[in-house]
Amino acid sequence: MPKIVAARVIVTCPGRNFVTLKIECDDGTTGVGDATLNGRELAVATYLTEHVVPCLIGRDAHRIEDIWQYLYKGAYWRRGPVTMTAIAAVDMALWDIKGKVAGLPVYQLLGGACREGVMVYGHANGTTIEETVEVAREYQRQGYKAIRLQCGVPGMTSSYGVSKDRYFYEPADADLPTENVWSTSKYLRVVPELFAAAREALGWDVHLLHDIHHRLTPIEAGRLGRDLEPWRPFWLEDATPAENQAAFRLIRQHTTAPLAVGEIFNSIWDAKTLIEEQLIDYIRATVVHAGGITHLRRIAALADLYQVRTGCHGATDLSPVAMAAALHFDLSVPNFGIQEYMRHTPETDAVFPHAYSFEGGMMHPGDAPGLGVDIDEALAVGYDYKRAFLPVNRLEDGTLWSW
């Protein structure tokens, strides 16, 4: 059995910060796990270095479930984004090792492929509706079958999801949080116009998605869902803050627009009511923030009982290590829905060489043993950590609001 002899936390910033855990075994096998928590990277890096790595040395790397339970129950202070991201990194690295020792890609260890490929969605955004639709056309030309639409809001200086460089949207943009201003009434007017223009330009054979990003009350979300129904959205994401899972009962009473939630969830308990009462249609929890492949499979299995499908988060602030692990998970779960793929910059891809590929709107993790991804430490060392916060959001009267 491969015994863990070392584990290192690598913080690197090829254009944005990433935290990677690399576990080493006595037979020389190594495994990697993503531990990136956007805007709180060093919290996870320290948690791993100080409170996880010392407990891993000498353990049997094959005992993934036992180590998971040890790090979850043994922490006493369970759950939360920092703890569960740290556990996720260990979990991904151990699945990577198990695959390498077995000589199999991880999806084969998870029961094999349930589909030929993984449908992904890209992000089209722009300051105006016209600009957004033009970028969406480009994604359509690249073969995407699903496209997320986010556009600027007239009268607002910034809006969620609209990047400065159009292609690679990076929200962690400053050494201290930038302050955005938000107006729900202005926003509610523009989204139906955006979807109408997009359907007109792109037709009906492409899935169109939208991320509300936690900013509406339940009844406002119900109203927007109803306004968008004629344009058949694939999903409305994070319609309202989901700490109160029951809030989604109100949205469900007013619209049949499909709902997706969960990118900020870190355990099955965050989604239990939403899934059991079928208050959502897609669960967005990810391998990197919800305890790794081991825990995400539990969430997917519960979701499968209630016809809820997966729709994992896949923003640029989840590293190619998380992308690789997500694709092995996506390929193997029966109730797969869709995978977000915001793409990474060329300098990020160089630091994280990987086997996964994109073609015709679909992705595949590849058949390299393990996760099929690694970190080039010689390159990584050249990119120093640079503190970067996510923005905060305020209403026009100064009230602090969800970003």
Q: Which residues are catalytic?
A: 160, 213
Residue 213 touching ligand CS2 (CB under 6 A): yes
- Window 316-355: contact mask with ligand CS2 (x via CB under 6 A): -x----------------------x---------------
By a kind-dependent CB cut-off of 5 to 8 A, residue 43 interacts, out of Mg ion, ligand CS2, none, with none
Task: Select 322 or 375, whichever has its Cβ closest to ligand CS2.
Answer: 322
Residue 239: Cβ-neighbour burial (10 angstroms; 0-12, 13-18, 19+): buried
Q: Are the CB atoms for 192 and 228 separated by under 8 Å?
A: yes
By a kind-dependent CB cut-off of 5 to 8 A, residue 145 interacts, out of Mg ion, ligand CS2, none, with none
C-beta neighbour count of 249 within 10 angstroms: 14
Residue 253: Cβ-neighbour burial (10 angstroms; 0-12, 13-18, 19+): exposed
Identify residues 25-84 at the interface with ligand CS2 (CB under 6 A). 38
Task: Select 18 or 160, whichever has its Cβ closest to Mg ion.
Answer: 160
CB 63 → ligand CS2: shortest distance, Å?
Answer: 32
By a kind-dependent CB cut-off of 5 to 8 A, residue 171 interacts, out of Mg ion, ligand CS2, none, with ligand CS2
Question: What's the CA gap between 268 and 274, in Å, rounded?
Answer: 10
Question: Whose CA is closest to 24, among 41, 3, 9?
Answer: 3
Task: Select 22 or 284, whichever has its Cβ closest to ligand CS2.
Answer: 284
By a kind-dependent CB cut-off of 5 to 8 A, residue 38 interacts, out of ligand CS2, Mg ion, none, with ligand CS2
Question: Whose CA is closest to 160, among 398, 395, 391?
Answer: 391
Residue 301 in tokens? 């299995």
What does the DSSP 8-state code read for residue 371?
A: T
CB 62 → ligand CS2: shortest distance, Å?
Answer: 32
Question: What's the CA gap between 174 and 251, in Å, rounded?
Answer: 35
Residues that bind ligand CS2 (CB under 6 A): 38, 171, 211, 213, 237, 263, 313, 315, 317, 340, 390
Residues that bind Mg ion (CB under 5 A): 211, 263
